[in-house]
């Protein structure tokens, strides 16, 4: 093959997983923000790859330092912070025409001391991890918020019946089972609707709606529950165009206690960690805005 037929394809580079803790000390009552930030730049980096010319290569160390410098001005919400990062890099360097900035945020609660929340002592809140991604592609900016590792379970109100059976099927149908999953969800905002949006308030409400949706109705399958959770979010938030889910079915099997002379009326279970069913789906509006390259690089979501 002629070497001239070999060209450079899509590329990006940056600093991954910059650990950032911001303490706000404006008053005696401190606030903590704990993030893991990744910055990746896209643009004119052809000469760096083909000629070894680093004139356009913004050092990844510079990208790390920029994360810390912008945090000095405040974080606010991971969505707002990433939008600021994207705006900085695409205006500071003329050859950077886009990029991808991502963050995980870890929650902290105030420690209760003598019946009162402490002003400057915190305990890590392990309920879920908040996520955000900003993708800039020329003039277009896409914003995707989300969460993962939100473990939920309901002890009844779920079954699984009516599935196809072949010679390899051993699963017995049931109309009463434990349903449990780790919710991973990401929702994409309509680009025209993010101006002035309170992202922290929106996040709290979406999380509450997801949890509420999980509790509602009898579930014939995790697929049905997942769709209802997504529909509930979209109906309440016109500024969100689509929401994607990736949720494992955390199987709980009834333990056979008959060898011990005991019955088991659906009360004692073996919680299996693998293998597990993995259910993924996107729930979106028919007239959703074009996602562009927003979902590139977000693994685990169809």
> Which residue's structure tokens are 């919710």?
183
> Is position 60 annotated as part of the catalytic site?
yes
Using DSSP's 3-state secondary structure scheme, residue 265 falls into: coil
DSSP assignments along 93-156, one per residue:
STTEEEEEEEEEEEEEEEEEETTEEEEEEEEEEEEEEEEEEEEEETTEEEEEEEEEEEEEEESS
Tokens matching residue 286: 């028919």
- Residue 209 near residue 231 (C-beta atoms within 8 A): no
Tokens matching residue 157: 């109100």
> Is position 232 annotated as part of the catalytic site?
no
- Choice among 30, 56, 60, 118 that is catalytic: 60
- Choice among 64, 136, 232, 251 that is catalytic: 251
Tokens matching residue 139: 């003039």
> Is position 15 annotated as part of the catalytic site?
yes
- Residue 18 near residue 39 (C-beta atoms within 8 A): yes
Catalytic residue numbers, as ranges: 15, 60, 251
């Amino acid at each position: 093959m002629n070497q001239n037929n070999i060209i450079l394809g899509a590329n990006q580079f940056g600093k991954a997983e910059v650990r950032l803790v911001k303490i706000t000390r404006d008053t005696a009552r401190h606030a903590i923000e704990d993030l893991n930030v990744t910055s990746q730049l896209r643009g004119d980096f052809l000469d760096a790859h083909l000629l070894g010319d680093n004139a356009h290569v913004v050092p990844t160390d510079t990208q790390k330092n920029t994360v810390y410098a912008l945090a000095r001005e405040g974080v606010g919400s991971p969505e707002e912070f990433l939008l600021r990062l994207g705006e900085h890099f695409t205006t500071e360097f003329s050859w950077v025409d886009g990029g991808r900035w991502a963050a995980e945020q870890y929650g902290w609660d105030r420690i209760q001391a003598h019946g009162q929340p402490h002003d400057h002592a915190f305990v890590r809140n392990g309920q879920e991890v908040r996520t955000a991604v900003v993708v800039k592609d020329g003039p277009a900016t896409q914003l995707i918020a989300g969460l993962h590792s939100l473990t939920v379970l309901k002890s009844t109100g779920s079954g699984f019946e009516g599935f196809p059976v072949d010679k390899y099927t051993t699963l017995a149908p049931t109309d009463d089972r434990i349903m449990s999953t780790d919710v991973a969800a990401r929702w994409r905002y309509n680009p025209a609707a993010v101006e002035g949006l309170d992202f922290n308030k929106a996040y709290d409400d979406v999380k509450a709606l997801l949890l509420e949706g999980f509790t509602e109705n009898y579930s014939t399958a995790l697929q049905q529950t997942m769709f209802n959770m997504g529909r509930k979010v979209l109906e309440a938030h016109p500024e969100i165009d689509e929401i994607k889910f990736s949720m494992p079915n955390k199987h709980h099997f009834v333990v056979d206690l008959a060898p011990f002379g005991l019955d088991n009326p659906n009360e004692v279970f073996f919680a299996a960690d693998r293998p597990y069913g993995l259910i993924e789906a996107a729930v979106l509006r028919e007239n959703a805005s074009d996602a562009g390259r927003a979902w590139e690089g977000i693994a685990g979501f169809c």
